[in-house]
Amino acid sequence: MEPDMTPFSAPPATSSRPRLVVIGNGMAGIRAVEELLERAPDLYDITVFGAEPRVNYNRIMLSPLLSGEKTFDQIVINDLDWYLKNHIKLHAGDPVEEIDRDDQVVITKSGLSVPYDRLLIATGSMPIVIPIPGARLPGVVTFRDVDDVDAMLAASAKGGKAVVIGGGLLGLEAAVGLKARGMEVTVLHLAGHLMERQLDASAGHLLAKELERRGLTVLTSADTAAILGDAHVTGVALKDGTNLPADLVVMAVGIRPDTRLAAAAGLEVGRGIMVDDHMVTNDPAISAVGECVQHRGACYGLVQPLFEMAKVLADHLAGKQAAGYPGSVTSTKLKVTGVDVFSAGDFSGGPGTEDIVFRDAGRGVYKRIVLQDGRIKGAVMYGDTADGAWYFQLLKAGEDVSGLRDTLIFGQGFASREGGAANPTAAVAALPDTAEICGCNGVCKGTIVKAISEKGLTTLDQVKATTKASASCGSCTGLVEGLLAHALGGAYEAAGVKPICKCSDHDHDTIRRLIRVQELKSIPAVMQALEWKTPDGCHTCRPALNYYLLATWPGEYVDHGASRFVNERVHANIQKDGTYSVVPRMWGGLTNAKELRAIADVVDKFDIPTVKVTGGQRIDLLGVKKEDLPAVWADLNGAGMVSGHAYGKALRTVKTCVGSEWCRFGTQKSMEVGVNLERMTWGSWTPHKFKMAVSGCPRNCAEATIKDFGVIATDGGFDLLVGGNGGIKLRGTDLLTKVTTEEEVQEYCGAFMQLYREEAHYLERTAPWIERVGLDFVKTRVVDDADNRRALHARFLASQRHAQVDPWAERAPGAPAARDFQTLATVE
């Protein structure tokens, strides 16, 4: 949920505090304000006007916002507290519509009139909309702000087909995001290969193949003739006669500087607002910065030049004598998870240039360095972009790389070998202080090193909080950690990420996210795409990967039995003497004569030495020989009894008291509620064991307050409790919510279990999971958002039983063939 944007007051202007008005609450304008506050925090009374009803956020993180990898809160750069702390008056959602230069006043859409002494225009750019029939139909959107993302999310929630017109940076990020949301996506690109301004044909071809592998359709040399539809878009027509069906069309063909306000005010305008080297327009009281400006004939649409402009402008506004803005050499990265693309400079080649090319088709790696007069003129990298910052720095500095000619293509790590081995820490340490480390937030090496030294930073999270480096897309995390390691030496431990095991550098959350985003649907595919260090994994990662694939692709992924622990393979618990324990399920702790006779017969027939009533209100048969397991289960199946999953990372038991059916204190039918809950939930794999209980009154005889999901009946309904745990580390439950009907109990239970299934780490119980993510995280998604709760519950019902097939049903002598647990669960 986005915050309320009600403006708050700033100190009144005085003769010693001139009034600075900023038109634009985006990345360029607010970065200039940030730089100014560092130089002269009390110099101006500052008022900011933003067209969007939001605080300042990172626009280049719209792609992860669309795909679901980030939330809006995670892409906010400056929250409301920042404006308040710095005495900045924010008018969000009230754009300036007129600049009166004679009276030095701006007038907003709401009619507000605000005077200025200095004015900063940072209106950014406008998306280009191709002037073709149907371009303004409902269902045609651009991709420039959060409103566009919201429109795409609303469309993707209905499913269907999306066509993205434009195979540049924004178009591809939109396409991958929509694919992650479940839409069928086709990318149309006019040029012969994708991202032709940033990539050469070879890299563009590799990129197209990777996107097609992910399920996108890519059509190059595709010229759009019209968008079809009457009341809503229905398709896209190409000039070659091809018609493509579409429920959503994303126009991502480029941007142009937004000069409308400046032009109406009589400022000098070309393609952008004309500025000098200090970012001042032809009116000395008015400056401009960002995508809206034109400087020395150039307009920039990337974030790095915007940040460089902001520094120069801040020096000027603060009255500091400093060098002007000379223009920018730019580099580009594609913000699509798992697709590493980097380019910089001019890679067109031509007379007087030479190429150094490296290809590794098996790894999907391509590098091309363009040299001229012994210096790097341009660089293109696909698949391995680790050395992008180094090449870019050499390019900007104009350094002669003739001495590195033979090894240049292998990167800085090769050039920085110590003792014959590549030393990444030495490589990043060798970069100059001016080298840009974090492109998303414009943070150079010197800023990070200074912060580490002066503020005593020791962790990646501290560097993120202080400098913003690595706080957005995360592609520079390795460089930042390299700086930490260099600065702290042996005292630094990369504690920010805990790998799943020794086989991988990725943590659980990253693996789960990449499985979803890259559509990885087998254990070998995960290991290949995520560069596993061992060929087959180990006993730690294989069960986890098997679970994550099951939870992510229910109905598609086939459970890999060899990646399960022995207990789960044989549906029984191995004991210390090598025999097994068999625990048939008893719904809600209830049984009957037929089941008891079947258990007694099995005990006699197979000479089972020990029969015990468990704490989960079931009967445990201990001492079963492994070779007898198929026949034991066949006999129990014949009586309608299925596994109680006493061994499983799954629902174990639903413990109940007798409730109002028998107890004089009972307020609700706890046995009935418990049985129905168990029948609904018993077939799903979960990150760890999952236990439930239903107590018929607040006396809590079923011990619901130490279960993963507990229900306590009251006179008015039911209290729903989560996150309890018995055992070594006792944890009482938290109250999730109160409901009035059994149907609500089931809906909340299914939604909670599905959220746990989708978000928790493998082998993480609900208790530590809730302590890690916070109860508010769960409540926001299960209690506060009814639509999301219903969606979670629906996904749970659709996916819970696909893996639960009785392994003995086909093998047991005389047993009925292919009987699954779902069918058996309905047997009375």
For residue 690, give the nearest of 749, 772, 738 by alpha carbon. 749
- Are β-strands 105-108 and 96-100 bridged in parallel, bridged antiparallel, or unpaired? antiparallel
CA distance 114 to 106: 5
Cβ atoms 639, 819 nearer than 8 A: no
3-state secondary structure of 475: coil
Q: Give the helix/strand (H/E) hosting 365.
A: strand 365-372
CA distance 274 to 266: 12
CA distance 53 to 66: 19
For residue 699, give the nearest of 679, 714, 716 by alpha carbon. 714
For residue 177, give the nearest of 72, 338, 62 by alpha carbon. 62
Q: Which amino acid is at 319?
A: G
Is residue 541 annotated as involved in ligand binding? no
CA distance 59 to 24: 13
CA 216 to chain centre: 19
Cβ atoms 377, 401 nearer than 8 A: no
Beta-sheet strands, E only, within 426-534: 436-438, 443-444
CA distance 127 to 93: 19
Task: State the residue for tokens 């938290």.
Answer: 734
Cβ atoms 248, 183 nearer than 8 A: yes
CA distance 548 to 515: 8
CA distance 489 to 67: 38
Q: Counting every residue, how long is the chain?
A: 828
Paired tokens of 348: 């067109």
Is residue 440 annotated as involved in ligand binding? no
606: region left, alpha or beta (phi > 0 left; psi from -120 to 50 alpha): alpha
Angle subtended by helix axes 766-773 and 742-759, to nearest 10: 80
For residue 607, the number of C-alpha atoms closer than 13 Å in the C-beta half-sphere is: 1
Is residue 299 annotated as involved in ligand binding? no
Q: Could you give the strand order of the β-sheet that contains 709-714, starting from the edge strand earlier in sequence?
A: 651-656, 690-695, 709-714, 717-722, 734-739
Calculate Rg over the CA atoms of the chain.
Answer: 31
Is residue 476 annotated as involved in ligand binding? no
**What are the CA-CA distances from residue 124 to residues 29, 34, 272, 301 (Å)?**
9, 17, 10, 9
CA 115 to chain centre: 42
Strand partners, 88: 46
Burial 280-309 (b: 16+ CB within 10 A, else e): bbebeebbbbbbbbbbeeebbbbbbbbbbb
Cβ atoms 469, 437 nearer than 8 A: yes
Query: In sequence order, which residues have a C-beta less than 8 Å from that of residue 267 and are 6 or more positions away?
Result: 273, 274, 281, 282, 283, 286
For residue 303, give the nearest of 415, 470, 441, 466 by alpha carbon. 441
Cβ atoms 224, 239 nearer than 8 A: yes
For residue 151, the number of C-alpha atoms closer than 13 Å in the C-beta half-sphere is: 18
Task: State the residue for tokens 């178009």.
Answer: 171
Cβ atoms 78, 2 nearer than 8 A: no
Query: In sequence order, which residues have a C-beta less than 8 Å from that of residue 362 and are 6 or more positions away?
Result: none
Paired tokens of 321: 């004598």
3-state secondary structure of 710: strand
What residues are designated binding site for [4Fe-4S] cluster? 657, 663, 697, 701
What residues are designated binding site? 657, 663, 697, 701
What residues are designated binding site for siroheme? 701
